[in-house]
Amino acid sequence: MKSTFLFLILLGTQKICAQDYPRWFLFPRDVRCVNTVTMITQPPTYYRDSAISQGFRFGCDLLARYTMMQISGGQTFWATEAGVHSMGAKYEQTYDTALTEFYQSTLKVLDSYIDKQKTLVLIGDSNCIVHDDVRKRIRLDGIKQPSWVEELPGDNHYFYAVGFSEEFYYEISSWQIAEKNAYMSLARSLQVKMQSMQKRDAVEAQDIRNEEMNVTLTNIEILERWKDRKKKAFYILARMKK
């Protein structure tokens, strides 16, 4: 009986700890250094250092994409009185892979955090100083809903976009999808061509829309992350200079 009680306490503690994040992950803008990126990847299978090394490699590749990435392709939507449905999407991302190697040789791991669900890695220039207040752990329960979740910041110098994801079984999938949706929203804010073909029959109105995209994103910044625990939703705020 006593061992079962202790097990339940430990289980509850693990769940609480899983809701802790270093400040630099939830508020990347607070790092205040150039050429920094935060990466979320799988927790260690055996060795902690291996998970961090993998996060570093993936992070350098992500930073290369964020430095300059061309997105081309399209998506088709079918809109009826019952709602809007996707009929398929195909996008291609191209970027300079040589930048990945450059970042791997010039950047380093500034900080890391590991629990049973994820590995978080902060990557940046060796001259970057990460202060203790940016390294400290933050509880999700203590963060109120940011204003940008419902309304984008007003700024004449930047494009802003919010990426959203529902909660998946693996937490890293939720954050990764939200981040991808954030930079795809940035791409749509730059160039979206909508072509509509109206079709009407005796039952309902139908609207087939083709979205075509061919844009280049440069110096993407991830500013904040937020998780709505009640609605089980993940949000990420991104921006790019106009």
- Say whether pLDDT at 157 is over 90: yes
- What integer pLDDT is reported at residue 192 of this predicted model? 64
CB 130 within 8 A of CB 24: yes
The enclosing H or E element of 237 equals strand 233-241
Non-local (6+) Cβ contacts of 111 within 8 A are 22, 24, 121, 122, 130, 135
* pTM for the full predicted model: 0.83
CA 188 distance to own-chain centroid: 16
Instruction: Please provide the DSSP assignment of 80-122 as one string.
Output: ETTEEEEEEEEEEEEE-HHHHHHHHHHEEEEEEEE-SS-EEEE
Percent of the chain predicted with pLDDT > 70: 84
- pLDDT tens digits along 116-151: 999 999 999 999 999 999 999 998 887 899 999 999
Rounded to whole angstroms, the Cα distance separating 75 from 86 reads 8
In a domain, 112, yes or no: yes
In a domain, 13, yes or no: no
CB 162 within 8 A of CB 236: yes
How many domains are contained in the chain? 1
In a domain, 136, yes or no: yes
Rounded to whole angstroms, the Cα distance separating 126 from 112 reads 15
* Strand, coil or helix: 165: strand
CB 111 within 8 A of CB 135: yes
- Say whether pLDDT at 168 is over 90: yes
- pLDDT tens digits along 187-233: 988 876 545 554 444 445 567 777 788 999 999 999 999 999 999 99
In a domain, 6, yes or no: no
Instruction: Please provide the DSSP assignment of 54-88 as one string.
Output: HHHHHHHHHHHHHHEEEEEEEEEEEEETTEEEEEE
In a domain, 4, yes or no: no
In a domain, 11, yes or no: no
- State the residue range of the domain holding 46: 23-241
- Say whether pLDDT at 63 is over 90: yes
The DSSP output letter for 45 is S
In a domain, 216, yes or no: yes
- Greater model confidence, 176 or 84: 176
In a domain, 10, yes or no: no
- What integer pLDDT is reported at residue 84 of this predicted model? 67
Residue 67: count other Cβ atoms within 10 Å of its Cβ: 19
- pLDDT tens digits along 67-97: 999 999 888 877 776 666 767 778 899 999 9
- pLDDT tens digits along 11-61: 333 443 457 899 999 999 999 998 999 999 999 988 999 999 999 999 999
At residue 151, φ and ψ (nearest 5 deg) are -145, 125
- What integer pLDDT is reported at residue 17 of this predicted model? 43
* Strand, coil or helix: 213: strand
Structure tokens, 153: 């910041």
Rounded to whole angstroms, the Cα distance separating 65 from 186 reads 14
